[in-house]
Structure 1
Amino acid sequence: MRSWAALPTGKVVRLEGAGPLPLAVDSLPREAPAILTCTAREARSPKALASAILDELDATVLGLFPAWLPDAEGIDGPGGAGLAAVRTLALRTAATSAHFGPFLAELAERALRARPGRLPDLRASLSPEIRPSGFPPEVRAAGLARALAAAFSRRGAALLVDVPEGLSPAGQEALVAAGEWLAHRAGLGIWLSGPLPAVDRVETVLVAEAPSQASDRTPITLPPPETGVPGPPPVAGRPHPGSPVERALESALSGCAWAAGRAWNQMLCPNALASPVRVDLLWQDDWCVVELDGPDHRYAEKFADDRARDVRLQIAGYTVLRFTDVQVLSDPQAVVRHIELLLRNRRASRNG
């Protein structure tokens, strides 16, 4: 039985005992690669599937900027000066790393053009000014894998693929063949979880069950069902790159001086004996937590888990506010006013 940290990259394997997907990347040891999850679906051909995954990886990496080029944090605006600065920084970074300089520079330019927050548009149809350039697929695959790993300070990157019951033999073959291409060209780990009766050339690896506290973590966002390709995991300190709701709230908060001190996607440990939990938005100095609930939070099991999390945080001294995605997207200013009122009251009590 292998640990998650010991699973191979640069290879396609089928996992046995992996447990339910998706899996929170921060529930894994630091030695494990950065992981994206996706669900396998029927594809016309291995080439078409690999191409679709590359496009989604491209959109994901653009959304993670500047996590994979940290010194670019202060470079604002897609104007000439900004583009020249970010290109120079990318080339300098590549000179002392495994990145391919021309590709990283082009990727950084496109990421700066895409700022701020155009990931939903990217997933639908990459706009002309940020569409992938003419680099060969092999160069794109390797460069995107390196950038993804760098964004999370991990040793490499992997796709954790849920293979559903009923995938046709042709679909299984296309999945494995596309995975082999990505593994060999990009060094990605392609980890398949589910039945593959039609393909007998894939090694099966028994893997240790994910840590029990993973159920307390925010899951990796999956893409719309028609794509079947990966969504990005959260990045500590930033709105989730795949969440228009988090980005909308951050946009509404960004001009508010009172909102200083906020931190997105943080891990909290309510007490020394408790498993850590991920919270969407945190004001640590004010002991305030804001959670954003999508439609899945209406289901009984998820609703009960949310209430249990809130109680644990409240006992530890945190105040928890919850808003639905619909509230944030339809009336973000109302949400902001509620948060402001809570923070001002907490600060008045603390200083009073």
Structure 2
Amino acid sequence: MAFSLSEIPTDRVVWIKCFRPNDLDLAVANAPLNTPAVLVQQVTRSRSQNATVASTLDEMEVAAGQLFPAWLPGVEGIVTSAGAAVTAVRAVAFAHAAETAQYGPFLADLAIGALARRGPRTRRHPPEVRVLGLARVLAASFGRPACALLLQAPDDLDESEALALVRAAQWLVDCGRLAVWICGESLPAIDWLSEIAVARPGRETVVAGSAPAVSSVRPREPIDENPRPRRERSARRSQRHIVVGKPHPTSRAEVVLEAVLADRAWAAGRAWNHTIRPGPLVNPVRVDLLWKRERCIVEIDGDDHRAAGKYAEDRHRDVMLQLNGYAVLRFTNTQVLDDIENVLALLQQFLANRRRAGKGN
């Protein structure tokens, strides 16, 4: 039985043991549309529930900024904060909030911060407002009903650190109406953690500890209305945000290509940033763009793919995919941005050939 996100409770804190990144890639790639959008975060050790909550909210806001404007319809053409752009974005945010369950001032601050790319701007709002608003924004970005946080905890947390983490996680569940899953090899024994079993590919089992009802683990510390965020952050942590099903918001080439493909009937059946397992003995591979039925993969390469090591890695991966029946097309960012009509013509012709030949059927 394959490991599925639908097997993990979403109304409580869950600890998932013996969990590998490949498990998540496969689970997210095969997840039904009624499962949550998944955001992965690295957790730094802390004995303060407040500090953990503040750090998590800032990370969620970073992810929301990367996904802008997917969650705010009507501002797609605004790419700079110069001139009247800020006023226009604020107006759209308030109008969108009036039609949804969002809080206007919060959504406007979030949108302006994302447009200006100057870091979190919503700290002036109470954390209860931030977590609920961010959870809704992240879910909306992927067209999902809810959001789930997968918190990757250090393996050697002591009891105080583990308790602070779990209490912070439960606060996020209570106030944000999102799922929180803690991933780690071990956690100190906590009396109110029960165990469930979730199957995954292979012979091993994912053992999860599940926090009970909300009322039994209410946070003991009050949450400050203006918590000071932790300063430690790296680009690597921001890059761990899972982006599945859509072009990556930080890749202009992917965003531009998707905008054009959306109007082409022949481009139906595509999936962005999807994880596949080419063969039973091959590790899962994440690809930029996939036509699953035609077994056609498109990779969009930046300048870093010219380096010798990266070039060799790409060729090895292409051969492995081809041996397992996939066709791989590679375009550079420059080709997509400067000569997109040629890219479209090549894609259309190639897909037509695969469909006539019955590839993937």
Same fold (TM over 0.5): yes
Flag the structure with higher helix content: 1
Q: In the alignment, what sits opposite 2:105?
A: 102
Q: How far apart are the structure 2 equivalents of 1:337 and 1:82?
A: 24
Q: How far apart are the structure 1 equivalents of 2:96 and 2:337?
A: 42
- Residues 237 and 266, structure 1, Cα contact 8 Å, conserved in 2: yes
The answer as to 2:141 corresponding to 1:151 is yes
CA offsets, 1:135-158, max 9 Å, x none? 111111111111011111111111
The answer as to 2:171 corresponding to 1:181 is yes
> Where does structure 2 lack aligned partners over 5 or more consecutive residues?
203-231, 351-361
CA offsets, 1:283-331, max 9 Å, x none? 99x9853356789x97x9999656422544xx5544346x8xxxxxxxx
- Residues 16 and 206, structure 1, Cα contact 8 Å, conserved in 2: no
- Residues 94 and 105, structure 2, Cα contact 8 Å, conserved in 1: yes
The answer as to 2:55 corresponding to 1:52 is yes
Post-superposition shift, 1:45? 1.5
The answer as to 2:287 corresponding to 1:279 is yes
Q: In the alignment, what sits opposite 1:136?
A: 126
Q: How far apart are the structure 1 equivalents of 2:70 and 2:88?
A: 16
Sort the Cα spacing of 1:270 and 1:57 in 2 relative to 1 into closer, same or farther, 3 A. closer
Q: 2:272 aligns with which of 256, 265, 270?
A: 265
Q: How far apart are the structure 2 equivalents of 1:90 and 1:337?
A: 29
**CA-based RMSD:** 4.8
Note the 1:19-58 alignment, pairs <5 A: 19-20=20-21, 23-24=24-25, 25-58=28-61
Sort the Cα spacing of 1:112 and 1:264 in 2 relative to 1 into closer, same or farther, 3 A. farther
Q: How far apart are the structure 1 equivalents of 2:41 and 2:314?
A: 21
Post-superposition shift, 1:184? 1.2
The answer as to 2:175 corresponding to 1:193 is no
The answer as to 2:240 corresponding to 1:231 is yes
Post-superposition shift, 1:209? 2.0
CA offsets, 1:98-148, max 9 Å, x none? 22222112212222222xxxxxxx6xxx3xxx6334111111111111101
- Residues 87 and 109, structure 1, Cα contact 8 Å, conserved in 2: yes
Q: How far apart are the structure 1 equivalents of 2:136 and 2:69?
A: 14
Sort the Cα spacing of 1:83 and 1:277 in 2 relative to 1 into closer, same or farther, 3 A. same
Q: In the alignment, what sits opposite 1:309?
A: 321
Q: In the alignment, what sits opposite 2:359?
A: none
Q: How far apart are the structure 1 equivalents of 2:110 and 2:329?
A: 40
- Residues 161 and 190, structure 1, Cα contact 8 Å, conserved in 2: yes
Sort the Cα spacing of 1:108 and 1:200 in 2 relative to 1 into closer, same or farther, 3 A. same
SS at match of 1:70: coil
Q: In the alignment, what sits opposite 1:329?
A: none
Q: How far apart are the structure 2 equivalents of 1:79 and 1:338?
A: 25
Q: Count how many residue pairs are aligned between Structure 1 and Structure 2.
A: 300
Q: 1:113 aligns with which of 101, 113, 116?
A: 116
Letter in 2 for 1:145: A
Moved more, 44-53 or 70-79: 70-79
- Residues 54 and 141, structure 1, Cα contact 8 Å, conserved in 2: yes
CA offsets, 1:211-243, max 9 Å, x none? 9xxxxxxxxxxx9779978832225443354xx
Per the normalisation by structure 2, the TM-score is 0.64
Q: In the alignment, what sits opposite 2:354?
A: none
SS at match of 2:76: helix
Per the normalisation by structure 1, the TM-score is 0.65
Sort the Cα spacing of 1:167 and 1:226 in 2 relative to 1 into closer, same or farther, 3 A. farther
Sort the Cα spacing of 1:304 and 1:172 in 2 relative to 1 into closer, same or farther, 3 A. farther
Identity %, equivalent residues: 33
